[in-house]
Structure 1
Amino acid sequence: MSLVLALLLDAIFGEPRALWDRWAHPAVLMGRAVAWADERFNEGGNRRWKGVLALGLLVVAAMLLGWALAALPGSLAEVIVGAILLAQRSLADHVQAVARALRLSLPEGRRTVAMIVGRDTASMDEPAVARAAVESAAENFSDGVVAPAFWFAVAGLPGLLIYKLVNTADSMIGHRTPRYEQFGWAAARLDDGLNLIPARLSAALIWLTRPRAAWGPIIRDARLHRSPNAGWPEAAMARVLDVALSGPRSYHGTMQDLPWVHPQGRKAIGAAEVHASVRVLWQAWAILLLLALLLVAF
């Protein structure tokens, strides 16, 4: 029941700005812990094993904190922490903001989408801005909503905190750069493992909003993605909206010729398709809520 209440609480209140202007968000605290481990351990030789050790220490700390919070009387702590670490409302709001900005002007669309994606946005045309927003909606539905809910359901607060810690570590140090290729190896591999089931579940939830879309091509397109997991919700969103996603884009001034996901879909897209992706997010969330209620019932 804690998961159901957490999902509802997050959907209603999202991220109260007044609260997080006063206090550090738990995700920020996790980021500080990862930054400490990076500064403390990421030097000298044997960096891969140092990364394994650092991540292990952080995971144990997250697990112990989860156990301590879960041991508090009642389930209020579980519900509140769960709601804080789910991100459905904030995700929908951020993606919707891109659609509103695009309706104002292309520069506003670029500025707004830059807040939620890591690619270069300065030279994007309107379809590229829209694609970036839709892709972010799909991928973050998996990382920010379904995966936390899944691990909360499987392992309670310890599972939820461990997942969020590992996901934060992956976003900070799980990169193939000279500094992090070895030290961040454990974070990247563990994040891939923890997202294996949630990514495919996310794709199924998105697909169920428009089940007339063929499932077979979603599987095929998901395997074209550079990530073993992110391609699943992205491929499902592409088929549900009948739009082409991914494709060439620029990172740090370098153009990458990535394959299209659902290349037969519409490429000339804009604010309307971004709005549509937000509707799909809420419909998929409703199905997730129904699944959580069924878990409680049975």
Structure 2
Amino acid sequence: MTLLLALVLDALMGEPRWLWSRLPHPAVLMGRAVAWADARFNTGPAGRLKGAGVMLGLALAAGLLGGVLSALGPVVEVIVAAILLAQKSLVDHVAAVARGLRTGLPEGRQAVAMIVSRDTAAMDESAIARAAIESAAENLSDGVIAPAFWFAVAGLPGLLIYKIANTADSMIGYRTPRHERFGWAAARLDDLLNLIPARLTALLIAAPYGLLHDLRAIRADARRHRSPNAGWPEAAMARALGIALAGPRAYDGKPRDFPWVNAPGRRPLMARDIDAAIRMLWRTWAVALGLAALLAVT
């Protein structure tokens, strides 16, 4: 029942500015903890060992904090879980790209730059829409289904461990000279914790659209993706919308020739395709809500 209520509360409230303009969001606090550990321990030799130790310490601290919060009762559990889910905020950020794109390319580029790390300055309409839809698919898994899954499996300790791993991966999990060794454990733990949720997200997307018979093709496309997990929700969403995702883009001024996901799909995209992706976000959320309801009565 707590998961069901948390999903509903997040969908209704999202991230109210009046609250988080006065208090630091838990995700911000997690980011500060990761940044402190990076500055403190990412020096000298044995970077991979130090990174693994830091990730173990952060995960243990998150799990312990989750246990303490759980002991305060179900009301606290629901509130904390709702805060750490991201359905409404995800929809709001993706919808902002569609609104910006309808105003003009500069506004669309500015809005999509808020949710992706790739270069946006030269994006055309299709590239903007594609980036927003890819972000919607990936963050549906990372920000909604995976947190809900780990909360269902292990309560707040599981949810907080997942969130600290996901936060660490987004900050130090990149293969840069500074973080290739130190961030290895964060990246691998995040991959492991997303292994089941990413595939579950693909199922939740595919089922309402009658695409379960396409799971073999979705799996094949997912394996072409640069990420071991993000390709699953992207491949399912691409097939459900009949569009191609991923493909070439640029990071830090350097072109990257990534393969297409659902390559035969339509490639010219526009704001209405983002609208369709948002409807898919809500439909998938509704299926997840139904599963949470089943868990509540069993």
**Which residues in structure 2 correspond to 1:21-36 (within 5 Å)?**
21-36=21-36
Q: 2:86 maps to what in 1?
A: 87
Instruction: Report percent identity of matched pairs.
Output: 66
Deviations 1:48-73 (A, max 9, x none): 0000111111111101100101111x
Question: Runs of at least 4 residues of structure 1 off by over 4 A?
Answer: none
Q: 2:205 maps to what in 1?
A: 206
Q: 2:290 maps to what in 1?
A: 290
User: SS at 2:255's partner residue?
Assistant: strand
Output the CA distance in 2 between the equivalents of 1:196 and 1:42.
27
Matched AA of 2:110: R
Output the CA distance in 2 between the equivalents of 1:108 and 1:215.
36
CA RMSD of aligned residues (A): 0.7
Output the CA distance in 1 between the equivalents of 2:228 and 2:211.
25
User: SS at 2:21's partner residue?
Assistant: helix
Q: Return the offset for 1:211.
A: 1.2
Output the CA distance in 2 between the equivalents of 1:162 and 1:263.
36
Q: Return the offset for 1:216.
A: 2.0
Output the CA distance in 2 between the equivalents of 1:36 and 1:189.
20
Q: Is the 8 A contact 1:205 1:287 kept in 2?
A: yes
* Alignment partner of 1:6 is 2:9: no
* Alignment partner of 1:114 is 2:110: no
**Which residues in structure 2 correspond to 1:20-99 (within 5 Å)?**
20-72=20-72, 74-99=73-98
Deviations 1:253-298 (A, max 9, x none): 0000000011111101100100000000000000000001101111
Output the CA distance in 2 between the equivalents of 1:159 and 1:215.
28
Matched AA of 1:127: S
Deviations 1:152-202 (A, max 9, x none): 000000000000000000000001011000000000000000000000000
Q: Return the offset for 1:209.
A: 2.5
Output the CA distance in 1 between the equivalents of 2:56 and 2:265.
43
Uncovered stretches (5+) of structure 1, i.e. residues with no partner: none
Output the CA distance in 1 between the equivalents of 2:263 and 2:68.
49
Matched AA of 1:95: V
Output the CA distance in 1 between the equivalents of 2:62 and 2:28.
14
Q: 1:166 maps to what in 2?
A: 165
**Which residues in structure 2 correspond to 1:90-239 (within 5 Å)?**
90-212=89-211, 214-239=214-239
Q: Return the offset for 1:143.
A: 0.2
User: SS at 2:209's partner residue?
Assistant: coil
User: SS at 2:264's partner residue?
Assistant: coil
Output the CA distance in 1 between the equivalents of 2:265 and 2:55.
41
User: SS at 1:240's partner residue?
Assistant: helix
User: SS at 1:266's partner residue?
Assistant: coil
Output the CA distance in 2 between the equivalents of 1:263 and 1:64.
45
Q: Is the 8 A contact 1:14 1:90 kept in 2?
A: yes
**Which residues in structure 2 correspond to 1:254-269 (within 5 Å)?**
254-269=254-269
Output the CA distance in 1 between the equivalents of 2:87 and 2:53.
32
Q: Per the alignment, do residues 52 and 268 of structure 1 end up closer, same or farther by CA in structure 2, a change over 3 Å counting?
A: same
Q: Return the offset for 1:208.
A: 1.6
Matched AA of 2:26: P
Q: Return the offset for 1:212.
A: 4.2
Output the CA distance in 1 between the equivalents of 2:93 and 2:175.
28
Q: Give the number of aligned pairs.
A: 297
User: SS at 1:209's partner residue?
Assistant: helix
- TM-score normalised by structure 2 residue count: 0.99
Output the CA distance in 1 between the equivalents of 2:125 and 2:131.
10
Q: Return the offset for 1:217.
A: 1.2
Output the CA distance in 2 between the equivalents of 1:225 and 1:232.
9
Q: Is the 8 A contact 1:209 1:280 kept in 2?
A: no
Matched AA of 2:149: F
